[in-house]
C-alpha cells in the first residue's frame, strides 16, 4: 500500500509518499500554495510539482493512474480546489482533505486540545473532546497573523527603521538586516524590499535574525515576547471558547517561528498556563506533513505505532528531506 500526505503553506508545499510500514518512499517540494497570497495557477502548480517529484522519487507514475492508494492533503486552500488539483497528478481510490489544524494536531499525536501555529502566517485553534472547536486569527498579514514569522520580521524592520531615525533604541538587528541584504544602509534595504516587491515568504525569512540576536539585544527579545503574547491571547480565547481551561490538554506548538526557542516559547506557555494550568505543551518532532501521513494511516485503517514512527524517522536519510520534515 502506498500512502500520500501533502501539506501546503505560505512558504512551501511538501508531499510525502510512504508504504504501510511508515517508510518514506518519495518526497517532493513545491512553492507556496496559500490561496490568500498565491494565485490559483501558482498554488496549483506548487501542489502538482510536489506530488510529481514525490512520485518520481518513489518510482511511481503520476500520470493519473492509481499509483497511490490513500491520500490525505491539506493546507490553506479550498477543499474543492485541492481535490481537483491533486486529481490532475494522481487519482487515489481513497482521498481526504485535512484542515490545517487537524494535520498540525496530528503531528503532535493529538486529535483534540489546543494548537498554536506560527509559520509564515499564524492562527490559534482549540477542539474539545466532544468536537466543539474555535479558531482565532489566520487573517493574513494585512490585519492579522500576529506572532507569525512574517509579523516578527515586520516588527524587526520597524524597529530598525525607528532606530535609524532616532525614534527608537539602537538595535543589533540593524547590522543583521544590512548583512542579510548585502548593503550598507537601511535606505538600500528599503529600496530592495519595495523595488523588488519582495514576497511575503521572503520577508518572513528574515525572522531568524531576531532569534539569533535575542540573547544580546533587548529589542529583539521584546519582539519575540510581543509575538508570544499575541499568540497566547489567541490560544486562550480558543481554549475558553471550547471550555478547556479547567482540563488537562495538549498545547501543540507548530511552525517555524518556534525555532526561536525559549525566548518565545517560555512566555507563551507561561501566559497560557496562568489561565489554563492544565495545558501541556507539545513541540512536534516533525512538520505538519507528518501529521497528514498519520491521518492517511487512519484512513487506511492502519495503526501508527512506535515501529511505524521508527521506520519513518530512519527513512529520512536525505538531508534535504530531513530539512523539510524535521521541525526545528
DSSP letters for 102-135: HHHHHHTT-SSEEEEEESSSEEEEEE-TTS-EEE
Q: Which long-range contacts (CB under 8 A, 24 or more apart) does 266-270 make?
A: 266/228, 267/225, 267/228, 267/229, 267/232, 268/116, 268/228, 268/229, 268/231, 268/232, 268/235
| Domain covering 2-105+286-325: architecture | 2-Layer Sandwich (3.30)
Query: How far, in whole angstroms, is CA 209 from its chain's centroid?
Result: 18
Task: Measure the CA angle with vertex 254, ends 7 and 39; round to 5°.
Answer: 40
What is the distance between the alpha carbons of residues 241 and 251, in angstroms, rounded to a whole number? 15
The confidence score (pLDDT) of residue 56 equals: 92
Count of alpha carbons within 13 angstroms of residue 267, beta-carbon side:
16
Residues in the chain: 328
Handedness of CA 200, 204, 205, 209 (dihedral sign): positive
Q: Any idea where the domains of the chain sit in the sequence? A: 2-105+286-325, 112-283
What is the distance between the alpha carbons of residues 236 and 102, in angstroms, rounded to a whole number? 19
Say if 2-105+286-325 and 112-283 have the same CATH topology: yes
As a dihedral over the C-alpha atoms of residue 104, residue 108, residue 109, residue 115, rounded to 10 degrees, the angle is -60
The confidence score (pLDDT) of residue 328 equals: 67
Q: Which of these, 224, 255, 182, lies nearest to 11 by C-alpha position?
A: 255
Whether domain 112-283 has CATH 3.30.2350.10: the reply is: no
The confidence score (pLDDT) of residue 35 equals: 83
Set of cell numbers at residue 310: 521508527
Q: Are 257 and 147 in contact (CB under 8 A)?
A: yes
The confidence score (pLDDT) of residue 134 equals: 97
Exposure string (b/e) for 22-56, b if CB count within 10 Å is 16 or more? bebbbbbbbbbbbbbbbeeeebbbbbbbbbbbbbe
Q: Are 50 and 15 in contact (CB under 8 A)?
A: yes
pLDDT by position in tens, the chain (length 328):
999 999 998 789 999 999 999 999 999 999 989 888 788 999 999 999 999 999 999 998 655 455 788 999 988 888 999 999 998 888 888 999 999 899 999 999 999 999 999 998 999 999 999 999 999 998 988 898 999 999 999 999 999 999 999 999 999 999 999 999 999 999 999 999 999 999 888 999 999 999 999 999 999 999 999 999 999 999 999 999 999 999 999 999 999 899 999 999 999 999 999 999 999 999 999 999 999 999 999 999 999 999 999 999 999 989 999 998 998 6
| Strand, helix or coil for residue 14 | strand
What is the distance between the alpha carbons of residues 163 and 157, in angstroms, rounded to a whole number? 10
Backbone angles phi, psi at 127, to 5 degrees: -140, 125
Q: How far apart, in Å, do the first and last CA atoms of the chain sit?
A: 30
Amino acid at each position: 500500500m502506498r500512502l500520500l500526505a501533502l501539506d501546503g503553506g505560505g512558504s512551501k508545499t511538501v508531499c510525502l509518499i510512504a508504504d504501510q510500514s511508515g517508510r518514506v518512499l518519495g518526497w517532493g517540494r513545491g512553492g507556496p500554495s496559500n490561496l490568500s497570497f498565491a494565485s490559483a495557477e501558482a498554488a496549483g502548480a506548487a501542489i502538482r510539482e510536489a506530488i510529481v517529484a514525490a512520485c518520481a522519487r518513489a518510482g511511481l507514475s503520476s500520470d493519473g493512474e492509481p499509483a497511490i492508494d490513500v491520500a490525505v492533503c491539506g493546507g490553506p486552500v479550498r477543499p474543492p480546489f485541492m481535490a481537483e488539483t491533486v486529481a490532475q497528478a494522481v487519482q487515489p481510490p481513497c482521498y481526504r482533505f485535512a484542515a490545517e489544524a487537524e494535520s498540525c494536531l496530528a503531528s503532535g499525536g493529538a486529535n483534540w486540545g489546543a494548537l498554536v501555529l506560527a509559520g509564515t502566517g499564524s492562527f490559534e485553534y482549540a477542539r474539545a473532546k466532544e468536537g466543539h472547536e474555535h479558531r482565532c486569527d489566520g487573517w493574513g498579514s494585512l490585519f492579522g497573523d500576529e506572532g507569525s514569522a512574517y509579523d516578527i520580521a515586520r516588527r524587526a524592520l520597524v524597529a530598525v527603521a525607528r532606530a535609524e531615525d532616532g525614534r527608537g533604541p539602537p538595535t543589533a538587528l540593524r547590522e543583521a538586516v544590512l548583512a542579510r541584504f548585502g548593503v550598507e544602509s537601511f535606505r538600500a534595504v528599503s529600496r530592495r524590499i519595495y523595488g523588488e516587491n519582495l514576497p511575503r515568504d521572503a520577508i518572513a525569512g528574515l525572522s531568524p535574525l531576531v532569534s539569533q540576536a535575542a540573547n544580546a539585544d533587548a529589542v529583539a527579545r521584546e519582539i519575540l515576547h510581543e509575538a508570544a503574547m499575541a499568540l497566547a491571547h489567541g490560544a486562550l480565547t480558543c481554549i475558553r471558547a471550547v471550555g478547556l481551561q479547567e482540563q488537562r490538554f495538549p498545547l501543540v506548538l507548530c511552525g517555524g517561528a518556534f525555532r526561536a526557542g525559549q525566548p518565545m516559547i517560555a512566555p507563551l506557555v507561561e501566559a497560557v498556563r496562568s489561565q489554563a494550568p492544565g495545558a501541556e505543551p507539545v513541540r512536534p518532532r516533525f512538520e505538519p506533513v507528518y501529521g497528514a501521513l498519520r491521518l492517511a494511516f487512519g484512513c487506511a485503517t492502519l495503526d501508527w505505532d512506535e515501529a511505524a514512527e521508527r521506520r519513518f524517522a530512519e527513512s529520512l536519510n536525505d538531508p534535504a528531506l530531513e530539512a523539510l520534515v524535521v521541525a526545528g
